[in-house]
A and B are shown apart, each in its own frame.
Chain A
Amino acid sequence: MNYFEVKQKENQTLLICKGEWIIYKASSIEKEFKKLKLTFPLTIDVSSVNDFDSAGVIEFITIYKKLKAKGKIKVIGYNQKELELFKLLEPTIDIKLPHKKSFFLDDVGKAAIEGFKNFLLFLAFLGETFAKFFYSIKPKNFRYKEMVYHIYTSGVGALFIIALTSFLVGMVVAYQASVQLHKFGADIFIVDTIGISVTRELAPLITAIVVAGRSGSSYTAEIGAMKITEEINAMKSMGFDVYAFLVWPRILALVISLPLLTFFADIVGIYGGLIASKFELGISFSQFVERLYEVLKVKHYILGLIKTPVFAATIALIGCFRGFLVSDNTQSIGLQTTASVVNSIFLVIAFDALFSVIYTELGI
């Protein structure tokens, strides 16, 4: 026994508490106490305890209350300070802390309502963004500097990663297609496959997905952090319009840079295909370019590019909207950033499908 000692004296029991009654020992004290067999009347002597901290006193109070409920007890050997702590902490032992318990269906309901509310908020955000474009943004007070900064970070900054991904995608498509085409002896059709698929579908989609991951997430995090530090409130209080200051420069920056990035991805993607065709099917560079010139009509390239401003606006709008949804705890930045990337990638793909349907219906 490290913390207790039981002695029988005349017709009463003496419980001697000893050792260090501190926070790191409290669980051992509790365990030891459970093993004790005590009889009443009982005297508790605490004079041999050589260190009492508040957790130790709380442990003592718990024990004291348990024993008091069972029979007659008396405590001896305490000093003034210990008594003070005891008196101070004794009432706190009965305090019941409130617990928030949630039921599964509650959570489902809350999540559904939250989702619907967010959708309504997004509509409001969309409306306000466009209304502000006509009311408060004029060519002479537009934030060109901000916009150029965002073109630089989301556009120029993304060149390398977009070059790498589209080059690889071009190559992979060429390798996959070449196996099938070779079986039919239709080797040269690899050029049609690469040229049309990259310009119409792959380059716009891959670029938009990379930009959503890179820039959409950073828009959410930036605006979210500004919201937590009350910078957004500061701007509003000075009469600055957050749509003009934060939202529109970002939307326009992406609407300008995403088509340019896609154009760049077109070139690099076809180049990737060209290299793969050379090694896999032995089609020379001049043969490839000649065939490309014949089959790749400008319309394919334009149809691919038309989609990109829509993708860009989607990514920027979702990124900013999610940023404004950040509430005042740090966890919500992470949640909103995740939601922002997931939503924008999903919507980009959904819009891409919509464009495909429209193009097919129009027969172009």
Chain B
Amino acid sequence: MKKPIIKVQDLVTKFGDRVIHDHISFEIFEKEIFGILGGSGSGKSVLVKEIIMLLRPFSGKISIFGKDISTLSFKEAQELKRSWGVLFQFGALFTSLTVAQNIAMPLIEYTTLSKKQIEHIVAAKLELVGLKPFVASMYPSELSGGMIKRAALARALALDPKLLFLDEPTSGLDPVGARNFDKLIQELRDILDLTVVMITHDLDSIFTILDRMLLIADKKIAAYGTIKEVLASTHPFVEEFFKNDFVKKRYLKELNV
């Protein structure tokens, strides 16, 4: 029924002798918001970096849109890279360019759009992520943390990607800002038919917007599936992460688990 967009099989990652991922496999389906969870140092960011081709895994196979990414030609890889947007943890906006120039950058590089069309798209993307037009001429150093994340999201969305990777999108935001950001991601997914892969620690995001998730602990997958399926797991990390008093009081009642 649903078709997998990203398929990871038997992935092993090693840094020197240190094993980070020990034979992990999972699938991410179209139009879902998929969470990658785990303690710090468990290799969440490394996993995403391998999927977006910034790092090479030691062994195993990663397929995106049905293509094995390790056998792509340079041209195919370039094409694939244009089909996703990445929001880095600290925005990673180009500091020497204004917000508008940051968003226009991929458009200028990869399309033949006219200046006017680019300006329309930049204005629309700013509006989509909830930024006021005056932000366009500001430099990243003049923005607040939340605005940086929104501007970086607008840049990630510039080429209308089908896939969106978010690295801790709500970290460093105030609680209200974080919930708004969650809502924004959900809305964008619905409007633009995105598939969203996000690394997160934020319990609110985990319980409210994730469709399915993956928990990495001890180099392996500790739990995988919808929140109910994950909660059914008895892995010690799941117990510790989800079954403490705070989580029980705050979230589990609503789920009737």
Point out residues on A near B: beta carbons under 8 Å: 22-24, 26-28, 30, 53-55, 58-59, 62, 81, 84-85, 88-89, 91-93, 95-100, 327-331
Contact among A26, A28, A330 for B95, CB-based, below 8 A: A330
User: Which B residue sits closest to A328, measured CB to CB?
Assistant: B141
Cβ-defined contact, A92 with B112, below 8 A: no
Point out residues on B near A: beta carbons under 8 Å: 95-96, 98, 100, 107, 110-114, 117, 119-128, 133-134, 136-137, 139-141, 157, 159-160, 191-193
Q: CA A26 – CA B122 in complex, angstroms?
A: 14
The A interface is mostly helix, strand or loop, or mixed, namely helix
Shortest CB-to-CB span from B115 to chain A, Å, is 11
Cβ-defined contact, B117 with A26, below 8 A: yes
Cβ-defined contact, B95 with A92, below 8 A: no
Cβ-defined contact, B121 with A58, below 8 A: yes
User: Which B residue sits closest to A329, measured CB to CB?
Assistant: B95
- Known contacts being A98-B137, A328-B141, A329-B139, is A54 close to B96, with CB within 8 Å? no
Between A and B, 11 residue pairs with Cβ closer than 8 Å are: A23-B113, A23-B121, A24-B111, A28-B112, A30-B114, A55-B117, A55-B121, A58-B124, A59-B117, A93-B120, A97-B133
- Known contacts being A54-B160, A92-B124, is A27 close to B114, with CB within 8 Å? yes
- Chain A neighbourhood of B125, CB < 8 A: 54
- Known contacts being A26-B111, A92-B124, is A329 close to B117, with CB within 8 Å? no
- Chain B neighbourhood of A96, CB < 8 A: 133
Cβ-defined contact, B133 with A95, below 8 A: yes
Q: CA A97 – CA B123 in complex, angstroms?
A: 7
Cβ-defined contact, A58 with B192, below 8 A: no
- Chain B neighbourhood of A329, CB < 8 A: 95-96, 139-141
- Chain B neighbourhood of A59, CB < 8 A: 117
Contact among A55, A100, A327, A328 for B137, CB-based, below 8 A: A100
Q: CA A327 – CA B96 in complex, angstroms?
A: 11
Shortest CB-to-CB span from A3 to chain B, Å, is 14
Known: A85-B192, A330-B96. 6 other contacts (CB 8 A): A26-B113, A26-B117, A27-B114, A88-B191, A89-B127, A329-B141
Cβ-defined contact, A85 with B191, below 8 A: yes
User: Which B residue sits closest to A62, measured CB to CB?
Assistant: B120
Shortest CB-to-CB span from B189 to chain A, Å, is 12
Cβ-defined contact, A98 with B191, below 8 A: no
Shortest CB-to-CB span from B106 to chain A, Å, is 10
Shortest CB-to-CB span from A338 to chain B, Å, is 15
- Chain B neighbourhood of A328, CB < 8 A: 95, 141
User: Which A residue sits closest to B98, measured CB to CB?
Assistant: A100
Shortest CB-to-CB span from B257 to chain A, Å, is 34
Q: CA A30 – CA B157 in complex, angstroms?
A: 22
Shortest CB-to-CB span from B138 to chain A, Å, is 9
Cβ-defined contact, A97 with B100, below 8 A: yes
Q: CA A59 – CA B114 in complex, angstroms?
A: 11
